[in-house]
Amino acid sequence: MKVNDSKKYIIVGLDPGTNFGIAAITFTGEIVYCKSAKNLPIEEILKEIASLGVPAIVCTDKTTIPELVKDVASTLNVPIFSPEKDFSFEEKSAVVKSFESLSGYSTQFDEHQIVALFAAIKAYKHFKNDFKLIDSLLDKLIMELNFNFRNSIKLDLFNGIPPKRSLYNHIRHLLKGYITESYPKDSGVFSKQVSSLNEELSRLRKRVKLLESLISKASGEKSNKKPIKVSETTFKFIYSNDKKEDEIDASKLFGGKQNYFKVLILEKASAKNVKMLLSSVSEIKKNNLVVYMRKIEGDPSKIAKILNKFGVKYALLNDYEEELSEVFSENGVFLFPSTNVALVEENGSYYLSKSKLLELQNNFLRS
């Protein structure tokens, strides 16, 4: 997500229902808004949120996310935060009361305001330590870059390394050192977690091999079944590895095109090709697009900037590398490996579920 530090970004807590609660907290923990209203339509909810600042995340107090919260997050194109467990109203009130006194915000809250405020506070507390770490890292980074790397970046220029790429390499190198310093040494807990994750990874690899074998066999067999018809339209589930296609009844499984992003496919993605592709699209909003690239050619940062310029926030890549994801993220675009998703085909056009993108986005932000 590309941000403008002159704007006020907010963490939004919601309590949906007949009586609707809305609360907002800044990244510094300041309560800036708390309100409840009866029979509030979603259009009014979105207007209320937009008037407060730029929503960064939408939060709920439930482990099972309410549909209205999903709709608001999808419309705003932001991730959703939900707590690790469900809390009693007394527990929520205690959290709000203790936070209220610390923040200097004092007023009488009704039940729905307390629930909305609790949801926002839980999200803020979840990310609070990471916020502090980010501030600390940036302070150190700016000082280090300013004093030690001016000449290094200029020397890299003589060796054919562009200034932005050199700066990016230095930042990555420094961040690795700072992050190592910022976290405690392994006391045995981390080793156990790593061992457990490696065991799970081994089990998953075995399952993947089994599935690949089954898919390979299925793709080699000729099916005598007739395709399923949905009115006059046939949908297909297209797997990104192109090993299997299953025709499905989309009217039973999906909720309509409003729940999907349209996917544009590029075999070879260069800055020029991406610009030409997006310039040719006019029938739908660019922020409802996903660009699927099989291969990147040229400077990935230029491609990411063009995507961002056209309002495209998501991209998929076959030849995925984590470093490329970082480059795209720096330029306001989320890049995900295409192996993590499945596309839906309708009459030659491809679509990707909004809920799947939000899931990938949440995983990326928490990683």
Supply the pLDDT for residue 256.
Answer: 60
Supply the pLDDT for residue 33.
Answer: 87
pLDDT digits (tens, 9 = 90+) for 273-309: 898 888 887 655 666 789 999 888 888 889 999 998 8
Residue 260 amino acid letter: Y
**60 — pLDDT class (breaks 50, 70, 90):** very high
Supply the pLDDT for residue 178.
Answer: 55
Residue 340 domain flag: yes
pLDDT digits (tens, 9 = 90+) for 154-190: 888 888 888 888 888 877 776 666 555 554 454 454 5
d(CA 59, CA 69): 8
Q: Give the residue from 134, 16, 148 showing the smallest Cα distance to 73.
A: 16
Q: Looking at the structure, do residues 237 and 350 belong to the same domain, yes or no?
A: yes
**Average confidence (pLDDT) over 63-85:** 90
- Of residues 138 and 205, more confidence is placed in 138
Q: Give the pair of three-digit tokens for residue 338.
A: 């295409």
Residue 42 domain flag: yes
Residue 200 domain flag: no
Q: Looking at the structure, do residues 246 and 357 belong to the same domain, yes or no?
A: yes
Looking at the structure of the chain, the number of domains it has is: 3
**Average confidence (pLDDT) over 75-79:** 89
pTM score above 0.85: no
- Of residues 53 and 170, more confidence is placed in 53
Q: Give the pair of three-digit tokens for residue 251.
A: 């009217």
pLDDT over 70 percentage in the chain? 72
Supply the pLDDT for residue 64.
Answer: 92
**Average confidence (pLDDT) over 230-249:** 36
The DSSP-derived string for 11-40 is EEEEE-SSEEEEEEEETT--EEEEEEEES-
Supply the pLDDT for residue 240.
Answer: 42
**Average confidence (pLDDT) over 326-335:** 86
Q: Looking at the structure, do residues 143 and 16 belong to the same domain, yes or no?
A: no
Average pLDDT over all residues of the chain: 76
Owning domain of residue 329: 228-366
Residue 115 amino acid letter: V
SS3 state of residue 18 = coil
> Which of 151, 166, 182 is the C-terminal boundary of a domain?
182
Q: Looking at the structure, do residues 168 and 240 belong to the same domain, yes or no?
A: no
d(CA 59, CA 92): 14
Q: Looking at the structure, do residues 176 and 285 belong to the same domain, yes or no?
A: no
Residue 92 domain flag: yes
Residue 347 confidence (pLDDT) above 70: yes
- Of residues 232 and 301, more confidence is placed in 301
